[in-house]
Amino acid sequence: MEKELNKHYQEQDTKYYLQTFKRYPLTLSRGSGAHVWDVEGNEYIDMIGGIAVNCVGHCHPKVVGAIQQQAETLIHISNFYLSEPQVRLSEKLVRLSGLDRVFFANSGAESVEGAMKIARKYAHSKGKGGDIISFENSFHGRTLATIATGKQQMQKGFGPLPGGFTQVPFNDMDAVRKVAGKNTAAIIIEPIQGEGGINVAGKEFMEELRAFCNEQDIVLIFDEIQCGMGRTGRMFAKEHYGVEPDIMTLAKSLGGGVPIGAVLSNEKVSSAIEFGDHGTTFGGNPLVCAASLATLEVLEEENLLQQATEKGEWIRLQIAAMDNKSVKEIRGKGLMIGVEFDFETKPLVQKMMEKGVLANATAGNVLRLLPPLNIHYEDLEKVMEVLKDSLDKI
């Protein structure tokens, strides 16, 4: 029976779960560091990390310990009251980010929704409209408002969508200037697009974007849900540009595996928010804040930002050295890596999985790698062997 467990759970999933995920036929049951095991005992090196969530690996002892201790003390109280973990995490994130205020949510999409509400409230307080500009190939979530900022294929069948959203080409300042106007409340951008194929914003473009938003009093939102929390070798990707947003969204790695999102904002835009303008039941409860604090401690104590920089450079050099003619471009920063090929990458990901490595195909022909920041070089060497062998096989 054990040999058929993956098949059994896949059949149960197909029977009972809303069929919105096209899952791989694996049921994972255990994780440690950069390794996971399925219900049949097969071991894999995890190079996708729960889609950039498991930044300190699976079941890091410090994060597990913090969750266990908090779970037996106080799990949830609602935001009618204060909790020590939330206060400590608020202070920590404000200090690290250089922004002034934080609001906690449960996911990335909720964080973006909160950011857009703050931006619109600020714009309305200045007598402006609520239009929001986003960029082609962006991804900010799957709620109705966040899909209105993203790809058309994700909007199909969900109309009518909320109004007031416009998209322009990425890294194109002329396009921004053409569509921005007196009713533009905000511009939202991923400094490095994740789902769109690991597309890196240019430094000059980001500087010009900040200057333009200053001139027009437009709120600049950085979506760092995937690229934040040390993933790119800096705590936040904005540090690569020397550009400060008015609002920044976080999630994914923020909790080291538990669901937590955050909206960070400067005092200028935060001052537009009044009591009752926004809220959440679960957001920032004691359990997730304790996990997040532990995750941040690990990032700092184990020097994982430097590790992300060094390991990311090592991976890019190794892939370049393969001199595979099908590789068109290697993009990204730190351990947020996209390898663009001249073919669809899903068969490559399938072949790598068969050889014990979990990776991800995105944007059609891009192999996306988002491993834990503390992954060992021994594992990375195995991954490179599997990648090279898989490329030879397909």
What is d(CA 74, CA 68) in angstroms, rounded to the nearest whole number? 10
Amino acid at 61: P
What is d(CA 66, CA 291) in angstroms, rounded to the nearest whole number? 6
Catalytic residue among 252, 311, 333, 351: 252
What is d(CA 27, CA 40) in angstroms, rounded to the nearest whole number? 9
Q: Does residue 223 have an active-site annotation? A: yes
What is d(CA 355, CA 357) in angstroms, rounded to the nearest whole number? 6
Backbone angles phi, psi at 85, to 5 degrees: -60, -40
- Please identify which residue in the block is written with the tokens 């192999």: 367
Catalytic residue among 223, 333, 341, 379: 223
Q: Does residue 252 have an active-site annotation? A: yes
The CA-atom distances, in angstroms, between 232 and each of 121, 203, 207, 304, 331 are: 31, 15, 19, 10, 12
Catalytic residue among 104, 135, 139, 236: 139
Secondary element (H or E) of residue 200: strand 199-200
Judge residue 82's burial from the number of C-beta atoms within 10 Å of its C-beta, 0-12 exposed, 13-18 middle, 19 or more buried.
exposed
Q: Which of 48, 47, 60, 2 is nearest to 27 (CA)?
A: 2
Three-state secondary structure along 277-291? CCCCCCCCCHHHHHH
Active site residues: 139, 223, 252
